[in-house]
Amino acid sequence: MSQDGLDPVIHAPARLRLMVTLAALPGGDHLSFTRLQDLVGLTPGNLLTHLRKLDEAGYVRTDKTGGGPSALTTVSLTPAGRAALDRYTTALRQILDVAGPARPS
Amino acid sequence: MNEGTSADEGTGAGTGLDPQGAAVIMQEAGQRARRELAVNQPAIFVTWALVYLLGYGTVWLSVRGQQPYHAPAGWALGLLTLLAVVALVITAAVTDRATSGVGGATAVKRRVYYLSLAIGWLGVVTMQIALRSAGASHGVIGVFTASSPLLVAGVVLVAGTAAWLNWWMFGLGLWLIAVAALSGFAGPAGTWAVDALAVGLPFLVLAGIRLIRR
């Protein structure tokens, strides 16, 4: 945890965007790699790198089905990831409350 | 929207992301995800409102003067069928646009929901044939043809609430069941008019409400 209480794994623009996007899905749902890439606007290489960091933290789960050109990679937020995003949102609200207006939705 | 984000960005300090910037990212990403992943219900409601107002309305125009009731004109039924097919295609396209790449429990529920509707409507068509072969009158067949698809849709919506916990859909399902059950009392010709208005107009209202709430 960083000094300001914001989880450093999440507190980076691309990973924050990834976490929030995945959190928009109901629990138990997952997104294909290509749809997620489309939603967050990252190159495949960058997306893979950020997903690996989130995966290592246990915040997302990636699954690969099939092989070759038809292989499908799916990504979902884990319960630990959802809880971490909730904690991040709470910490961010507290920081912004002290600083002034502009709160995360 | 690729912002050229560095793959090596790590902590907030390293990225220079301040709390205000994080809040903006959360708001924008959340809004975009909700907008892109949500099925465009206003478009679907407007599409089906047109099916009922134009399709059912046209059928009613073709039968309103019949004494005794015989059957809708072929061209009117053809228009209704065409509108229904177009509406199905639009519904599928709008749904696919939002749900493309989304898998898991919600996708399974959605497939079961649409499968239930398809099976129900297939049953309606089959039963219509059975009624004809059993010698049912034109009036009975007219009431059945107009209202039974609504009954199926209403029951599937109400039952689907168990999966979706969407009380708007539950209310709409109850309304469709009520319209289907009661419109027959308007007689075989009047049923088409009652269904057209009692379904088409609320669908337009729902589309407007959903549009405002998006």
Q: What is the ipTM of this complex?
A: 0.87
Calculate what percentage of chain A has a pLDDT beyond 90.
73
Domain ranges of chain A: 13-95
**What secondary structure letter does DSSP report for A70?**
G
Which pLDDT score, from 0 to 100, does residue B6 have? 46
Q: How confident is the model at residue A100 (pLDDT cuts 50, 70, 90)?
A: low
Q: How far apart are CA B52 and CA B84, in angstroms?
A: 9
Mean pLDDT (10-residue bins), chain B, 214 residues: 42 67 95 93 96 97 91 95 96 93 90 93 96 95 95 94 83 96 95 97 95 84
pLDDT tens track for A71-99: 889 999 999 999 999 999 999 999 988 87
| Residues in chain A within 8 Å Cβ distance of B1 | 40-41
Chain B hits for A62, CB-CB cut-off 8 Å, are none
Looking at the partner chain, which of B12, B104, B105 has a beta carbon nearest the beta carbon of A6?
A: B12
State which CATH number among 1.10.10.10, 1.20.1260.10, 3.40.50.300, 1.25.40.10 fits the domain covering A13-95.
Answer: 1.10.10.10
Q: Indicate the average pLDDT of chain A.
A: 90
| Cβ-nearest to A104 among B27, B37, B100 | B27
Quote the distance between the C-alpha of residue B83 and its chain's center.
13
Residue A67 phi, psi (nearest 5): -145, 170
- Residue A2 binned pLDDT confidence (cut-offs 50, 70, 90): low
As a whole number of Å, the end-to-end CA separation of chain B is 22
Total CB pairs under 8 A between chain A and B: 131
Counting Cβ atoms within 10 Å, is residue B30 exposed (0-12), middle (13-18) or buried (19+)?
A: middle
